[in-house]
Chain A
C-alpha cells in the first residue's frame, strides 16, 4: 500500500468505517431512487412490447437484476465471511452478516417475479426447472446462514460459525447448480453472455442494465446502513460510539 494512495486499511477501523458509511449512504440512496425512476420509466413506458411475450416480458426488468444480485451477493457474503474468519477483521464479519438479508430478499423476489412471469408464459406459476430449483436452494442457504447466526448468542462465535457455513455453501453452489441443471431444464437460455452480443433489442438491454445498476446501488445503501447499526450494537461500550452518539444528540 503506497503512502499516497487511499489507505484502505484505515476503513477497517470501526470508527472510520462508521463515519465513511454515514457519508456514503445518502449518495447511494439518491442514486438508487434516480436509477429506479429512470429504469422503471424506460422499462414500463419507453421499451417496446416483445413480439412473442407481449407486455408480460417487462417483468424481466425486475426479475433479472434480482436474480443476479441474489446470486452475486451470496458469493460476496462468503468472501467477506472468509476475510473475517481468516484475518479477524470485524468490519468484514459485520458486512457478511449485513449482506445476508438483502441477498435473501433479492433471491425471494427473483423467485416471486419468476412465478408471476411463468403463469402467462409457461401456463404455470412454478415448474421444477433447474434454475428455479437452484434459486430455491440458494434461498434456503441464505435462510440457514441467518438462522445459524441468530441461534448463537455469542457474537464472535456466531460470526465464525456462520462464516464456515457460508464458505461451505459457496463451494456447493456450483455443484448444486450443475447437478440440478443436469437433472432438468426448461428455463430459456441466457440472453446476455459476456462473450457475445446480447440477443435482445438495444433499448431493452440498456433499460435492463440501468435496473441492474439500481439494484446494485440499493444493495450498497441498505447493506451499509445495516452494517452501521450492527457496528453500533457490537461496539456499544467503545469510546468512539459514545462520542458520536452524544454528538448526534447535540
Chain B
C-alpha cells in the first residue's frame, strides 16, 4: 500500500508538472530554497560540532527544531495549506481502511520539498551530536520521531480545524481561535525578545532557559532527547523519549480518527445548513440592478461560505498583532498603534482579488447572462465596502482610542481609507488578469491553493506594489501631518480623491478587460475542478 500511494503521488506530481510551467518554476524555486536551507544548516551543525559546548548545541538545536515543528503547524494552517493530491475523500469508494492508508499517506506526505528538507536538515542533528556515541545514537532515534511529529501535528491541526469550519456551529469559533492564536504567538515572541534584551551576555543564559522550556513542550520532546543524553541527564532523556513516542502514537490515532471520518463522510456533504429566510434586508440594501444583485449575493456568500470567513478573520489578525506587539514593548509607540489599521487596507487586495477564484465554475452564470464586466467589478466592490467600511471605522476608532491620540484621528482615517480605496480599485483591475484559483466551496478551506497558488501570490504582489506607488501621495501627506498641523486634511482630501478615481478606473478598466477575458478567467478559476 505504501508503494502504491507513493507511486500515485509521484505520478500525480509528474502530470501536474507536465501541464503547467508555473508549477515547474515553483518547484524549482522551492527546491533551490530548500537546498539553501539545507546547506546553511549543515554549515551551522558542523560549526556547532567543532566549537560549541554541549550547552550551546542543546540550546540552539532544541530551540531551532521546536520552532521548525511549530512552523509546520502554523504554515500548513495559515499559509500553504495541506497538499490535497491524496485527499482521503478520494479513497472513500475504495475498500481501504484508514489504518491501511496511513503509512502510505505519511510517506507520500513527506515526499515534498518541505518534508525532504526537514528530514535532511534533521539528520544534521546526528552530525551536531557526534561528539559522543551515546548522543549520536540518541540523535539518530530522535530524528524520525521529530520529523514524523512535524507532519502528524500539522495534519492533525488542519484536519481538526477543517472539521470545525465545516459545521456552522464551530465555524465562527474556529475563525476567532485562529485569529487569537496569531496574536498570541506575536505576543509570545515579543515577550521572549523582551526577556533577552540587547545584552549579549544574557543571550547564552536565556538560550539555555528557552531550550529547557521548549524541550518540555510537545514541540521539543523528541528534539531534546539527544541533548539530555549528552548532558548525562538520563532520567530526563528517558522521560522525553517516552513523551515523544506517546505524542507520535497519540497524533497517529487522532489522525486515524479524522481519516476514518473523511473516508465515510467527505467534508463536502456535511456542509448543509437548513432553511434560509426569504427576502430580507440585503436585497433591499443593494437594489435590483445587476450590480446590486451581485453585491447582495457576495454579502450572502461572506456569511455562508467558510472560505470567506477565514479570509475575513485574516484581515483582523494583522492589525491586532501590530497593536498587541506595541503593548508588550516598554515604551509603546502611539503612532504605530494609530497606523495599525493601515495593514488591513494593504491586505484588502487579497480579499477583493480572490472573489473570482472563490466562485469557481459557478462564474459561468455571469458569462451566460452576459453581465457587463463593469457591473461584476462594481457589485463585488460594493459588497466588500459594505463589510469593510464599518470594520475599518471601528478598528480606526479603537486604535486611536487605545493610543489616546484623538489628534491623529483624521490622519489615520485619511491614510486607511485612501489606501483601502486605491487597493480595491487596483485589485479590481489586476485580478481579472490573474484570478488564480481556490478549492471548491465546501472543500477543505485549508486545501492547497486556498491562498490562490502561484498566480494568487503574483497578483497579490502586483496589487500591493502598484497600490503603494499610487497611494504614495496620501501616505506622504499623512505621515507629514504627524509633524505639520493641518496636513491631515490635505491627506484626507487626497485619499478620498485619488481613491475614488482609482476605484472608478479599476471598475471601468477591470470591467472592460473582463468583458474580453471571460473564457480565460473561467479556465483559470476552474483549474482545480473536474
Q: Do A and B bind each other?
A: no
* Interface of A toward B, CB cutoff 8 Å: none
* Interface of B toward A, CB cutoff 8 Å: none
